[in-house]
Chain A
Amino acid sequence: MRLLRRIIALVLVAAWWSSGVSAWAELRFPPPEFETDYVMGGVTTPPPRALPFEYVDVAVLVGALGLGVWLVHRRRSRRGLVALSLFSLLYFGFYRQGCICAIGAPQNVAYGLFQPGYTIPLTALAFFVIPLVFALFAGRTFCAAVCPHGALQDLVLVKPVKVPLWLEQGLGTLPYIFLGAGILFAATGAGFVICRYDPFVPLFRLTGSLFILSLGGLFVVTSMFVGRPYCRFLCPYGALLRLSSLVSRWRVRITPDYCTQCRLCEHSCPFGAIREPVAPPAHPSALAPDRRRLGRWLAALPVLILAGGWLGSWLSVPASRLHPSVALVEQYLDPTKPEPVPGAPTPEIRALGRAELEAPELVTTAAAVRRQFTKGGWWFGGWVGLVIGARLISLSLRSTRKDFEPDRGACYACGRCYLACPNERVRRGLISPAEAAGLNANRPAATTTAPNRS
């Protein structure tokens, strides 16, 4: 019996080698009829995470956002925000392992809207919309204490370095460009690049490829000295939150009541978000050069958009290679690939056969994808032109302000500046009004101030 089975196996091996492909519909070795009372096991099928737990995530998100808004605007407590961000880091970061995450959610929405056959998970939609709605009313509380990426960078910040303004403004356009790229690749079905190059999620999972783990390590080390590098210079969802926060109903205020211009808060923000008072020009004629510059950039905006779009359309060929179908066709049609051995199917032909596809059908699909990329490239390039133009226009805008105020868009609502304000300290009962009056004696900048981290 044993010998017979071995012979059968050997014959089969020989048959496979001679035919190239084996095609046996029924079982080669009929399942035995056991004489002993052997009980056959079954296939274990551990279930996926049940759907109700996904709704728990959404509930935790809403709860944390609500608590964050209260801590930022009512309680004005940096300590509370640190505690909340620790919780978020543990829950959304290390427990949920960075998934579900709002940063990648714009891609789900784009993918769902442009790719028929994909249904957007309800939780992904909720994670996309809810933080934006909160930002429209109460600023970036999501960044402050709910996002695990922000929490990780914020909690390791030990010695913030001031980023020069030109670098800050230049790098500040990257989130919008990354957002555009993420949406382009998601809408065309090429993949989720924002998730693929997320530096922190592998750290939360404590596993990943060497490249992405080193990138994560690099970002963590950088965020010890540069406040929130990913949030400021890369995060695509942060770009949306920044825009929403610009028109928010309530804004973060450094002082609880009035600003005494003591400049004590000036260096308390590690993200460079506190804006100095700007006096209105002494004479309206001083505005003329600014006005001319603004006019020039406004006129240049359509040109920038069109030029960007034209350049973007040229990107369609290299960019479309990220799409698996296009990549497969390029390999298939590659003129330098080795000649197939007669009689033996090539790996591509086997792959196509397994995928139940014919080569011409695949080429048609790939051509359609590339056309989509040409159209998408125009949109993406135009978007990049618009981002650069809008940045130049915003730099030419002059705004007057009387008080030290956080920039609406750039403020992460982390609450570091609160305790730098003597009025806030009086409100908390930490110092007497008389002491505050001593501090308020309009000091020159940065003599006694130290970055305040509670």
Chain B
Amino acid sequence: MPDVPSSTPPPVNRRQFLRDGTRLAAMTGLGALLGLAATRTSTARGYVWQIDPARCVYCGNCATACVLKPSAVKCVQSYPICGYCDLCTGYFVPEPNGLNTGAENQVCPTAAIERVFIEDPYYEYNIDEDLCIGCAKCVEGCTRFGNGSFYLQVRHDRCLNCNECSIARVCAGDAFRRVPLTDPYVIKTTAHE
């Protein structure tokens, strides 16, 4: 590097020239990358993670694999397809002692399902989302023996929309999908299976 007195305007030395050239090349490269990536980007809408209830195998990974504890996945209840059964297989363990709200009779480990009497013999079942951990135990009972009105959904008020959903990575049924931001839930209107 030549010795340049600071009073005279410095001529462009070799290092400066290389630096400017590299910066220009880097800007061009970034521009090209941006252009290429812009062809692969969507301008209007984003995508979010969601569970396809038809593929869910109620393995329980949603409760444990999410980066959030408790999970962003919770059980939802589709009332129009619920049978309002007295013996709800999503609510009661197999062969319950009695059809009451006793903890030993409930399948839900956190007592997140509320059982409300409507009229004989119908009971309404509501999910308390603050308590639900997304373990899918009720989903299994309801889908196997009932109408399948309990199913898991990613709740977008909690989901952080990770680059790589850590539940999707371990999902046993390959049920996780990226769905458009404008239509972020897969709501059941009929029973699956």
Q: Identify whether the interface residues of A are mostly helix, strand, loop, or mixed.
A: loop
List the A residue with the shortest CB-CB distance to B84. Answer: A32
Contact string, B181-193, partner A, CB cutoff 8 A, digits 1/0? 1001101001101
CA distance A129 to B164 in the complex (A): 21
Q: What are 15 A-B pairs at a CB distance below 8 A? A: A1-B121, A22-B144, A27-B147, A31-B84, A40-B80, A43-B77, A47-B184, A48-B184, A49-B156, A112-B41, A136-B26, A137-B23, A191-B164, A205-B160, A208-B69
CA distance A23 to B84 in the complex (A): 21
B12 within 8 A of A: no
- Residues from chain A with Cβ under 8 Å of B19 in the complex: 246-247
A12 within 8 A of B: yes
Which of B26, B30, B42, B57 has most chain A Cβ within 10 Å? Answer: B26
B48 within 8 A of A: yes
- Residues from chain B with Cβ under 8 Å of A191 in the complex: 164, 169
* Inter-chain contact A247/B169, CB cutoff 8 Å: no
A196 within 8 A of B: yes
Determine how close the nearest CB of chain A comes to the CB of B121; give it in whole angstroms: 4
- Residues from chain B with Cβ under 8 Å of A195 in the complex: 162-164
* Inter-chain contact B160/A99, CB cutoff 8 Å: yes
Supply 5 further A-B pairs (C-beta < 8 A) apart from A9-B145, A29-B147: A29-B146, A36-B118, A43-B187, A125-B37, A129-B34
Which of B1, B83, B146 has most chain A Cβ within 10 Å? Answer: B83
- The answer to whether residues A35 and B83 also contact, given A45-B187, A207-B67, A207-B69 and a CB cut-off of 8 A, is no
Interface size of B as a range: 35 or more
- Residues from chain B with Cβ under 8 Å of A389 in the complex: none
Interface set, chain A 1-18, CB cutoff 8 A to B: 1-2, 5-6, 9, 12-13, 16
List the B residue with the shortest CB-CB distance to A347. Answer: B172
CA distance A350 to B193 in the complex (A): 14
- Residues from chain B with Cβ under 8 Å of A132 in the complex: 26, 30
* Inter-chain contact B41/A129, CB cutoff 8 Å: no
Determine how close the nearest CB of chain B comes to the CB of A252; give it in whole angstroms: 15
- The answer to whether residues A51 and B40 also contact, given A28-B191, A244-B26 and a CB cut-off of 8 A, is no
- Residues from chain B with Cβ under 8 Å of A357 in the complex: 174
List the B residue with the shortest CB-CB distance to A6. Answer: B87
* Inter-chain contact B164/A31, CB cutoff 8 Å: no
Interface set, chain A 192-241, CB cutoff 8 A to B: 192, 195-196, 202, 205, 207-209
CA distance A178 to B38 in the complex (A): 25
Specify which of B47, B69, B159 is in contact with A119 (CB 8 Å cutoff): B47
CA distance A350 to B48 in the complex (A): 26
The 8 closest A-B pairs by CB, nearest first: A29-B83, A46-B157, A355-B174, A48-B156, A354-B173, A192-B164, A119-B42, A247-B22
- Residues from chain A with Cβ under 8 Å of B156 in the complex: 45-49
Determine how close the nearest CB of chain B comes to the CB of A12; give it in whole angstroms: 5
Interface set, chain B 26-51, CB cutoff 8 A to A: 26-27, 30, 33-34, 36-38, 40-43, 45-48
Determine how close the nearest CB of chain A comes to the CB of B167; give it in whole angstroms: 12
- Residues from chain B with Cβ under 8 Å of A97 in the complex: 160
A38 within 8 A of B: yes
Specify which of A38, A118, A247 is in contact with B26 (CB 8 Å cutoff): A247
Determine how close the nearest CB of chain A comes to the CB of B102; give it in whole angstroms: 18
A442 within 8 A of B: no
* Inter-chain contact B122/A32, CB cutoff 8 Å: yes
CA distance A120 to B34 in the complex (A): 11
A44 within 8 A of B: yes
Contact string, B49-74, partner A, CB cutoff 8 A, digits 1/0? 00000010100000000011100000
CA distance A416 to B30 in the complex (A): 31
A335 within 8 A of B: no
- Residues from chain B with Cβ under 8 Å of A136 in the complex: 23, 26-27
- Residues from chain A with Cβ under 8 Å of B187 in the complex: 43, 45
- Residues from chain A with Cβ under 8 Å of B121 in the complex: 1-2, 5
- Residues from chain A with Cβ under 8 Å of B69 in the complex: 207-208
Determine how close the nearest CB of chain B comes to the CB of A344; give it in whole angstroms: 15
